[in-house]
C-alpha cells in the first residue's frame, strides 16, 4: 500500500509546477477538495520549494504521509542526506500551540519506534507556523543520544536556516530513499488507537507488527474468519477461545472481526461485547470523537450524538446484551457472531443468580453468565459463533468465574457445539483445571495454536515484561532477575520510595502526547497521606482521553486509576503505587484488606487470587516503561508501619531495578 499522496526526488519536486503537484495530491484525496485545503497545500508547496532549493540533488520529499496507527497524515517528510525532517504546517498560524508541538513529536516518534528504516535514523520534527513572529534558528544543536530531536518551532523565513543547522550535525550515512519508502512498518497501537484505525477502515495488518518475534495477529484473525464462514456454510454452531499474555492483542483481534462484519445487512454481522464498563465507555467516546474530527477535516458537520449512537451498536456492554435477550426469551439476537472480550471475567452461577434476583426481580434464574450467553446464541436455528477472548490471570473481582465456567457450560448443555481451542489453554493462569481433559473425549474439538497470542504487543520496547511480572508475583526470583536483564534498557523499570520523584520520572520520560498516569490497587486505602484516594470517583473517559490541560486527565497526576479502571486499556508510562494490601514476607505474599481503622488478613484463596491479579493488571499497563513506588511508611501511624512496606521494597530492589 502506498503510504503517501505524492513523492519525488527533490529535483523533480523543484522543477514541477505547483498545479501539477496540487493535482497529484487532489487525485489521491478521497474527499472533495475544499478551498481551505487547496490553499494550504499551495502555501506549503511554495514554502518547501523556497527552503529546499539548495538540496536539489540530495534528497526526496513525501507529502501527506500516512500514519495509520494515529489515523493521520504528516504534511511533509523530507529526506536530506542522513536526516529525516518531519514537517507539520499551520498555514496562517501565529503561535506554536502545545498540542501542535505534541502532534509533530508524535509523528516523529511513530517513525522512530515503528518504521524499520527509521529506527537508527536522525529525525528532526519541525512545526511551521507560517505567520509566527520572526525567529532566529539556532546556530548549533547537539545530536540527541537516540537521534530524535525535540520538536523545532519555525516560521516560513526561518525554515532554511533550521535545515542547515540540523544537517551540520547529521553526518551519518545517506538514507536510500527507495529502501526507506519500502521499509516495513510495524506499529503497536494502543487499544484506543487501534479501535479508531479499524473503525475508519484500516485492516489489522496495517496497524500491527508483522516481525518474526511477534505472533501474526493477521493469522489469528484469518483462523477466526475461517471458523465463522465454516459455521455459516456448514450450518453448525461453534465457540473458539483466543488466549494470550497481557497486551498480546486479544482485544485487537476481536475489534478486527467486529469491524470486518459491521454491516447489519450482512449475514456475518457481528457484535463486540465486553463486561468491562470503563473499556466500553472509553472506546465509544474515542470513536465518536474521532468521527467528529474526521467529519470536520472533510468539511462536514458530524454530530457527536449521532456518531455515539452508531458506535454503541458496534461496541456493546455484555450486560446490556444479556438484558436485551432477557426481554425476548425466545427470539435470537440480531447477530450470528458475538465476540466476548475478557471472557474469563464472566460471572459464575451464584453471582449471576444473586444479581438477577436483586436487580432484575427474577427469582428463578439459575444459570451462570457463560451458560446464559451461549444459550442466547443457541436460539439461532441455523448457525452461530462465539469468540471468547481470554486473558490469563485477569480475574479481579468477586464472582468472576474464569474460563472453566465456559467449559463446564458447554459440557452440561451444549454438546453439539464445535469447540476450537489452543493447547495453551491448559496453562495454569487460565484456571481451566481438569475440565480440558473432558473436552478431549468430546466430538468436534479442534486444537489450533494460532488461537494463542504468546508475545505482548503492548510493551513494544520489551516483549518479556509480562513474563517478568508473572515471575515476581510467583516468587521465581532467579528467573525474574534473568528476565529483567533481557528487558534491559529498552523498557526502563525504576523503583523509588518518593511519589514526587516518580512523577518527575514520568514527565521526564514521556514525549509528545505519550500518556502517563498513576495506577493503584483498589484496596490501597492507606495511600491517602500521599493524596491518593482510591475511594474518590474518577471518570476513565476523561482520564484516558483528555489532554494535558485537563485536570481530570491522567497527565495531571492527581486522579489515580485502579485495576478496574485500567484493565484492557494501557498507558505509555505508568507509576504503580504499592500499598500494604499486598505484602512480601519471608514466607511469601500476604494479602490484606483495610476495614474501618485497621488491616485485616484476607484468608479466602479466591479473594487472594483477585488481589494478586490486581497487581498483575497494574504492572502490565505500561507500553514503554514504569516506575514503582513503595512508600516508606510511618512509625507513628499504626496503619502504615514501615514493616508493611520495607520487605516489599527490598524484594523488588533485590530484583535489580533501577533506583531513583
The rounded average pLDDT for each run of 10 residues, N- to C-terminus, in the chain (660 residues) is 90 97 93 88 97 94 91 94 97 94 96 93 97 84 94 95 94 91 85 83 60 60 92 96 80 83 72 89 91 80 85 84 86 91 86 88 88 95 94 65 83 92 70 64 88 74 84 96 88 97 97 97 96 93 96 97 93 97 96 96 93 95 96 96 97 95
Write b or e for each residue in 488-499: b if 16 or more Cβ atoms lie within 10 A of its Cβ, otherwise e.
Answer: eeebbbbbbbeb
Write b or e for each residue in 332-362: b if 16 or more Cβ atoms lie within 10 A of its Cβ, otherwise e.
Answer: bbebbbbbbbbbbbbbbbebbbebbeeeeee
In sequence order, what are the residues at sequence separation of 6 or more whose Cβ sits closer than 8 angstroms to the Cβ of residue 510?
516, 572, 573
* pLDDT score for 360: 84
* pLDDT score for 158: 94
**Contact at 8 Å (CB) between 252 and 220?**
no
Q: How far is CA 500 from the centre of its chain?
A: 26
**Contact at 8 Å (CB) between 63 and 4?**
yes
* pLDDT score for 213: 39
Give the angle 421-323-230 at the CA atoms, nearest 5°.
30
Tracing cell 465456567 back to the chain, one arrives at: 405
Cα 165 to Cα 143, 150, 171, distances in angstroms: 11, 14, 12
Q: Counting every residue, how long is the chain?
A: 660
Cα 12 to Cα 43, 306, 422, 440, 517, distances in angstroms: 18, 45, 54, 65, 47
Element (H, E) at 25: helix 18-28
CA–CA gap between residue 157 and residue 50 (Å, rounded): 9
* Alpha helices, DSSP H, located in 30-172: 35-52, 98-114, 159-169
Beta strands (DSSP E) in 189-305 are 237-244, 270-274
**Contact at 8 Å (CB) between 165 and 140?**
yes
Exposure of 626 in the CB half-sphere (CA atoms within 13 A): 26
CA–CA gap between residue 271 and residue 259 (Å, rounded): 9
Count of CB atoms within 10 A of residue 550's CB? 13
Cα 250 to Cα 246, 380, 561, distances in angstroms: 9, 26, 22
CA–CA gap between residue 303 and residue 295 (Å, rounded): 9
CA–CA gap between residue 383 and residue 366 (Å, rounded): 25
Tell me whether strands 59-67 and 72-80 are parallel, antiparallel or unpaired. antiparallel
Q: Is the pTM of this model over 0.95?
A: no
CA–CA gap between residue 89 and residue 70 (Å, rounded): 17
Q: How far is CA 324 from the centre of its chain?
A: 30
* pLDDT score for 432: 60
Domains and CATH numbers, the chain: 4-182 (3.40.1350), 214-275+315-453 (3.40.50), 465-659 (no CATH)
* pLDDT score for 557: 98
Element (H, E) at 518: strand 516-520
CA–CA gap between residue 312 and residue 321 (Å, rounded): 11
* pLDDT score for 271: 85
**Contact at 8 Å (CB) between 426 and 279?**
no
CA–CA gap between residue 275 and residue 297 (Å, rounded): 34
Element (H, E) at 471: helix 465-473
DSSP code, position 489: G
CA–CA gap between residue 233 and residue 383 (Å, rounded): 9
* pLDDT score for 214: 46
Residue 249 — left, alpha, or beta (φ > 0 → left; ψ -120 to 50 → alpha)? left
Instruction: Give the residue among 310, 307, 193 at the shortest CA–CA distance from 252.
Output: 193
Amino acid at each position: 500500500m502506498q503510504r503517501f499522496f505524492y513523492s519525488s526526488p527533490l529535483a523533480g519536486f523543484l522543477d514541477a509546477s505547483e498545479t501539477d503537484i496540487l493535482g497529484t495530491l487532489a487525485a489521491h484525496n478521497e474527499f472533495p477538495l475544499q478551498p481551505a485545503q487547496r490553499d494550504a497545500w499551495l502555501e506549503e508547496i511554495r514554502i518547501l520549494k523556497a527552503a529546499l532549493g539548495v538540496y536539489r540533488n540530495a534528497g526526496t520529499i513525501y507529502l501527506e504521509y500516512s500514519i495509520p496507527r494515529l489515523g493521520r497524515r504528516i504534511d511533509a517528510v523530507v529526506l536530506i542526506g542522513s536526516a529525516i525532517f518531519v514537517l507539520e504546517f499551520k498555514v496562517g498560524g501565529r503561535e506554536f500551540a502545545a498540542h501542535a508541538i505534541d502532534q509533530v513529536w508524535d509523528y516523529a516518534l511513530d517513525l522512530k519506534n515503528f518504521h524499520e528504516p527509521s529506527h537508527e535514523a536522525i529525525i528532526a520534527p519541525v512545526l511551521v507556523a507560517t505567520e509566527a513572529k520572526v525567529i532566529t534558528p539556532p546556530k548549533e544543536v547537539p545530536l540527541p543520544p537516540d537521534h530524535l530531536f525535540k520538536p523545532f518551532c519555525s516560521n516560513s523565513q526561518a525554515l532554511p536556516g533550521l535545515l542547515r543547522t540540523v544537517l551540520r550535525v547529521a553526518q551519518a550515512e545517506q538514507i536510500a530513499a527507495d529502501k526507506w519508502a519500502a521499509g516495513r512498518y510495524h506499529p503497536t497501537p494502543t487499544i484506543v488507537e487501534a479501535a479508531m484505525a479499524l473503525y475508519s477502515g484500516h485492516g489489522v495488518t496495517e496497524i500491527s507488527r508483522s516481525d518474526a518475534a511477534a505472533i501474526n495477529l493477521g493469522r489469528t484473525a484469518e483462523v477466526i474468519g475461517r471458523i465463522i464462514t465454516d459455521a455459516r456454510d456448514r450450518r453448525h454452531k461453534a465457540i473458539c477461545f483466543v488466549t494470550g499474555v497481557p497486551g498480546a492483542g486479544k482485544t485487537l483481534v476481536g475489534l478486527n472481526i467486529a469491524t470486518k462484519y459491521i454491516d447489519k445487512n450482512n449475514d456475518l454481522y457481528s457484535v463486540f461485547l465486553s463486561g468491562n464498563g470503563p473499556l466500553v465507555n472509553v472506546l465509544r467516546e474515542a470513536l465518536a470523537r474521532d468521527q467528529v474530527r474526521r467529519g470536520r477535516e472533510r468539511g462536514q458537520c458530524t454530530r457527536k450524538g449521532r456518531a455515539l449512537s452508531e458506535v454503541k451498536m458496534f461496541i456493546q456492554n455484555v450486560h446490556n446484551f444479556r438484558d436485551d435477550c432477557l426481554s425476548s426469551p425466545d427470539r435470537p439476537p440480531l447477530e450470528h457472531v458475538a465476540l466476548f472480550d475478557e471472557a474469563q471475567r464472566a460471572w459464575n452461577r451464584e453471582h449471576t443468580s444473586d444479581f438477577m434476583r436483586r436487580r432484575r426481580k427474577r427469582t428463578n434464574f439459575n444459570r451462570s453468565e457463560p451458560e446464559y450467553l451461549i444459550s442466547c446464541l443457541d436460539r439461532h436455528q441455523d448457525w452461530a459463533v462465539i469468540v471468547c477472548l481470554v486473558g490469563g490471570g485477569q480475574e479481579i473481582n468477586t464472582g468472576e468465574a474464569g474460563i472453566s465456567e465456559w467449559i463446564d457450560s458447554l459440557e452440561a448443555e451444549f454438546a453439539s457445539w464445535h469447540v476450537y481451542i489452543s493447547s495453551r489453554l491448559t496453562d495454569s493462569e487460565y484456571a481451566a483445571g481438569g475440565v480440558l481433559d473432558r473436552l478431549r473425549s468430546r466430538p468436534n474439538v479442534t486444537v489450533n495454536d494460532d488461537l494463542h497470542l504468546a508475545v505482548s504487543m503492548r510493551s513494544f520496547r520489551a516483549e518479556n515484561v509480562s513474563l517478568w511480572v508473572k515471575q515476581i508475583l510467583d516468587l521465581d526470583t532467579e528467573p525474574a532477575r534473568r528476565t529483567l536483564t533481557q528487558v534491559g534498557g529498552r523498557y526502563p523499570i525504576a523503583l523509588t520510595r518518593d511519589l514526587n520523584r516518580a512523577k518527575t520520572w514520568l514527565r521526564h520520560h514521556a514525549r509528545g502526547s505519550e500518556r502517563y498516569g498513576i495506577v493503584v490497587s483498589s484496596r490501597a486505602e492507606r495511600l491517602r497521606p500521599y493524596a491518593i484516594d482510591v475511594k474518590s470517583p474518577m471518570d476513565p473517559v476523561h482520564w484516558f482521553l483528555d489532554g494535558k490541560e485537563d485536570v481530570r486527565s491522567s497527565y495531571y497526576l492527581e486522579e489515580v486509576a485502579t485495576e478496574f479502571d485500567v484493565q484492557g486499556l494501557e498507558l505509555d508510562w505508568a507509576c504503580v503505587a504499592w500499598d500494604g494490601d499486598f505484602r512480601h514476607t519471608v514466607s511469601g505474599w500476604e494479602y490484606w484488606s483495610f476495614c474501618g481503622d485497621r488491616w485485616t488478613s484476607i484468608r479466602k484463596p479466591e479473594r487472594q487470587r483477585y488481589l494478586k491479579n490486581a497487581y498483575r493488571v497494574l504492572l502490565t499497563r505500561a507500553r514503554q516503561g514504569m516506575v514503582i513506588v513503595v512508600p516508606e511508611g510511618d512509625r507513628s501511624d499504626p496503619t502504615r508501619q514501615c514493616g508493611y512496606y520495607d520487605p516489599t521494597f527490598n524484594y523488588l530492589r533485590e530484583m535489580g531495578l533501577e533506583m531513583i
